[in-house]
Structure 1
Amino acid sequence: MAICGLVGGAKTKTGTDGKTQISVAEFKKWLMDFDHDGDGRISRSELSDAIKSRGARFTWWRSGRAMGVADFGFSDYIDEAEMNYLLRVGKEFGYDIL
């Protein structure tokens, strides 16, 4: 049975595996909510905050792993173009990205 909730104002479902099911667009919108300085990019610290918000442990390690997957420009930030690469590590966020 799925449980309904909200992520960034969008209706979501939680499957029996405990992961919230959201679309790619909803995931990106949710992630940008953690862009604390408003520069349009996600830093490792902001990424750690996003992971922590989902109740995960070891957020510094998980955010480092996610940065390694997504930060192809080695800028220490994930910009909009690189966000698609975060979909590969969506489980770090507790999401099942559809």
Structure 2
Amino acid sequence: MAIKTRNYSVDGKRVMTVEEFTRWLKRFDEDNDGRISKDELADAIRVSGGWFANRKSKQGIQSVDANGNGFIDDSEIKNLLQFAEQHLNVWVLFL
């Protein structure tokens, strides 16, 4: 279990609530369509220091895109939490 200190856990991950994560992720919505595309998710992975961003973003979209439209909609963001902990250097708190 990670210990929270100044918004970062001891393993270096940024600690966020679900709401904070949602707001952070929406910063990458470059075209302001309310959805996260594969390229926008790849940008989030790169900013977080992740490697192989294009491949990981494709996997992320495929794993959480419930309606199959190729985007992460507001209703699907919560499905992305496990992916975020693995690939976005984020530890999401459920409060």
TM-score after normalising by structure 1? 0.85
- Could you tell me how far apart the structure 2 residues matched to 1:57 and 1:88 are? 17
2:87 counterpart letter in structure 1: E
Aligned residue for 2:68, secondary structure, equals coil
Q: CA deviation at 1:2?
A: 5.3
1:54 counterpart letter in structure 2: S
Give the match for residue 21 of structure 1.
15
Deviations 1:40-84 (A, max 9, x none): 000000010011111111101111121122111111111000111
- Could you tell me how far apart the structure 1 residues matched to 2:40 and 2:47 are? 11
RMSD over aligned Cα, in angstroms?
1.3
> 4+ runs of 1 displaced by more than 2 Å?
1-4
Give me the identity figure in percent.
34
Kindly indicate whether structure 1 or structure 2 has the higher relative contact order, using CA contacts under 8 Å at least 6 residues apart: 2
1:45 counterpart (32, 39, 42): 39
Aligned length: 90
TM-score after normalising by structure 2? 0.88
Specify every segment of 5 or more residues in structure 1 that has no aligned partner in the other structure, as ranges: 5-12
Give the match for residue 67 of structure 1.
61
Aligned residue for 2:15, secondary structure, equals strand
Specify every segment of 5 or more residues in structure 2 that has no aligned partner in the other structure, as ranges: none
**Counterpart mapping for 1:81-96 below 5 A:** 81-90=75-84, 91-96=86-91
Question: Which protein is richer in strand relative to its size?
Answer: 1
CA contact (8 A) 2:62 2:70 kept: no
Q: CA deviation at 1:96?
A: 0.5
Aligned residue for 1:96, secondary structure, equals strand
Moved more, 42-51 or 67-76: 67-76
